[in-house]
Homo-oligomer: A and B are copies of this chain.
Amino acid sequence: MASSGAFTMTGGDAAYSYTKNSTIQRDIVDAGKELIKEALSEKFDLKSLGFDTPSTVVKIADLGCSVGPNTFFVMQNIIEAIELKFHQAKNQNYSALEFQAFFNDHYENDFNILFKTLPPSRKFFAAGVPGSFHGRLFPKSSLHFAHISNALHFLSKVPKEVVDGNSPVWNKGNVLNSSVKEVAEAYSTQFKVDMECFLNARAEELVPGGLMFILGGVVPDGISASETMGGVYFDVMGSCLKDLVKNGVLEEEKVNSFNVPVHGATPKELEAIFRTNGKFSIEKMEKFTQPMKTPLSPEGYVLAVRAGSDGLMRNHFGDESAEQIFKHFTTKVEENFDKILGGVRNNLNLFILLKRI
């Protein structure tokens, strides 16, 4: 898990697994279905991708896929949208289409459960690709489509200066306190570096004209990070950890050295990064709302958080302390639930379509 700096969802299929606690992310995937269909209908040129030849194999990657079932819905949505496009274009190669789906996540991801839960009747040949999406994962020009949802906010590492006790930017006692300007800047700089690596790797791997779908929550321009979904989480978790130091459950040192490698970017920040990189054209950059199908409860919120961070907590604090953290966190979530719902309401989802130039 976090030992290599890699942030993976909780594996297996037990009570706290991502497999059983990923309906919030599922809402994004479901909202993506129509967006992807529309994007492909408008922006996918069969000819320019060489898809007007009889032996057409379409290669699609889901980056940071974690375990199922969400990544399987993603793949199905993309394939349906491609088939629809072939159908609309009255392209006769439709019936001979074959799809190869690449499921990517860190080496530490639970690929065993991913493979065992693959839908038995599926339209694609499946492959798992281990490794960080901040580096190269595929040979040159070997992908037509890449998809990444709910994952681009993960950094390759916590910025060095933030964990350095001698640095003026040392983020002492805060999980992620964006109100400290220098700390926020260190995270933002790390995000720029990571995104440049991400875009350069994808630029090599996607064929010219290849498309990349990016979906996920961002920080709206003009509101403070602490009012967002992520910001509220860090405040509540930070306050939970501080309580446990006071109670003598956790050592202060352990809490001081705990940082989470994520960064919530703004749309402006993302756009600037894409333009500086220059290897993709920005075809779409749209806000979207995803209606929460199941109303969020404090219990559901805690389970979702745990599915994402159980391993991170266990690795840093140990199994026993992690249990106590999540127990106290549940109480804190109940006390602060209005604030949490406010953060959720402030969340801005973006659908971005990039085309390899």
Mark A residues whose CB is within 8 Å of B. Answer: 55, 57, 98-100, 102, 107-108, 110-112, 115-116, 118, 125-131, 136-142
Please pick, from B55, B115, B131, the residue contacting A130 in the complex, using a CB distance under 8 A. B115
- Across-interface contacts of A99 in B (CB, < 8 A): 139
Of A112, A129, A130, chain B has the most CB atoms within 10 Å of the CB of: A112
Given contacts A140-B55, A141-B55, contact A128 B128 (CB under 8 A): yes
Indicate if the CB atoms of B127 and A128 lie closer than 8 Å.
yes
- Give, as a whole number of angstroms, the nearest-CB distance from A279 to chain B: 17
- Closest B residue by C-beta to A59: B139
Indicate if the CB atoms of B98 and A107 lie closer than 8 Å.
no
- Give, as a whole number of angstroms, the nearest-CB distance from A61 to chain B: 10
- Across-interface contacts of A111 in B (CB, < 8 A): 111-112, 115, 128
Please pick, from B57, B129, B130, the residue contacting A139 in the complex, using a CB distance under 8 A. B57
Indicate if the CB atoms of A128 and B130 lie closer than 8 Å.
yes
Cα distance, A112 to B114, chains bound together (Å): 10
- Across-interface contacts of A125 in B (CB, < 8 A): 129, 136-139
Indicate if the CB atoms of B129 and A118 lie closer than 8 Å.
no
Please pick, from B107, B116, B127, B140, the residue contacting A107 in the complex, using a CB distance under 8 A. B116
Cα distance, A126 to B138, chains bound together (Å): 8
- Give, as a whole number of angstroms, the nearest-CB distance from A1 to chain B: 12
